[in-house]
Structure 1
Amino acid sequence: MKKDDNAFGVEEAADSPGFLLWQVTSLWQREIRKALEKYDLTHSQFVLLASTMWLMQQGEPVTQILLSAHSKIDPMTTSTVLRTLQTKGLLERKEHTTDTRAKTVALTTTGEKLARQAIKTVEQFDTDFFQALGSKLGDFNKKLRLLLQQ
């Protein structure tokens, strides 16, 4: 078998964008887990807490479906994670005032305080993790957004 004649269509594993993305994502997830340990939060819990806070600041009622769409976490997982956050006393879920099928979500005072602290930690982690990209970070983010639109 010739070097360029393989089932993957790339010469080296390091040339596979999917494999590279998987490796970087695995490294990033492992390190972000460590950064969030001191808050007793999983990454999904953090994303939903931070998303709830951001959406609350927009002035609209925050629903589980809105959170799911915003975070790109499937609705069933969103519901499960929100239930855990509610048990931890970090947010409240209530019946929607006009849509009986929907639940609204709001951070408690404790949840907002924890979210603010965790956001600072995650932002600093991201700054440190992605610093190797330097001035190319904006272009990198733009290309990631392109992939999200598929």
Structure 2
Amino acid sequence: MTTVAMYCFCMTIAAAGPTPGYLVWRLSNKWRVSVDRALVSFGLTHAQYVVLASLFGMGRAGQQPSQRELADQTGLEPLYVSKLARTLEADGLIERTRDPEDSRTMRLTLTAAGREAVQPAIAVVQALLDRLLAPLGGRNSPRTRSFVQDLTALLDTSLDLH
């Protein structure tokens, strides 16, 4: 739905207030734009950050994910992860290597330059997250834990109409 269509839809139900879908859409856009702005000085987009930060966390856990596993972890489309991975590899921030057991599978790891680039970006995004969650009592508050549970339940709900 376009921004104009979403606005018009919300206006038709103005007496009842904005719909939950509209609020989720607005929060998602607010977060994405805020992260993009916060990361501009690092030369990263929000999507690139998601790939790098996810690889950082997965690497610390001893994982070397495939592009498909990273797509599943991040919620990004596999084709988009592949495109981002090629760009980040060309920038020297990640390595893509063929899986020795399945030559169709590409495994991803951060390079030293990738770790160096993403760590300060993670700190900036964490500070931004702290600002976002302050009205709920902060990152570790009961309201935030409940909010995370609700968001997880919504994300686990299939929206497939078939």
Is TM more than 0.5 here? yes
What number of residue pairs does the alignment pair up? 144
Specify every segment of 5 or more residues in structure 2 that has no aligned partner in the other structure, as ranges. 1-8, 158-162
| Match 2:71 to one of 68, 71, 76 | 68
Matched, 1:44 2:56: no
- 1:8-51 CA-to-partner distances (Å, cap 9, x unmatched) read 89553633111111122222221111111111111110000011
Match of 2:97 in 1: 94
Identity among equivalent positions (%) equals 30
Cα contact 1:14–1:20 (8 A) shared by 2: no
Deviation at 1:129, TM superposition (A): 1.7
Match of 1:141 in 2: 148
Quote the Cα distance in structure 1 between the aligned partners of 2:16 and 2:95: 46
Rg larger in structure:
1
Quote the Cα distance in structure 2 between the aligned partners of 1:13 and 1:40: 42
SS, match of residue 61 in structure 1: coil
Q: Quick one: which amino acid aligns to residue 36 of structure 2?
A: R
Question: Alignment RMSD, CA only?
Answer: 1.8
Between 1 and 2, higher relative CO (CA 8 Å, sep ≥ 6) is seen in: 1
Instruction: Answer with 11-20 or 41-50: which moved more.
Output: 11-20
Quote the Cα distance in structure 1 between the aligned partners of 2:15 and 2:125: 33
Specify every segment of 5 or more residues in structure 1 that has no aligned partner in the other structure, as ranges. 1-6
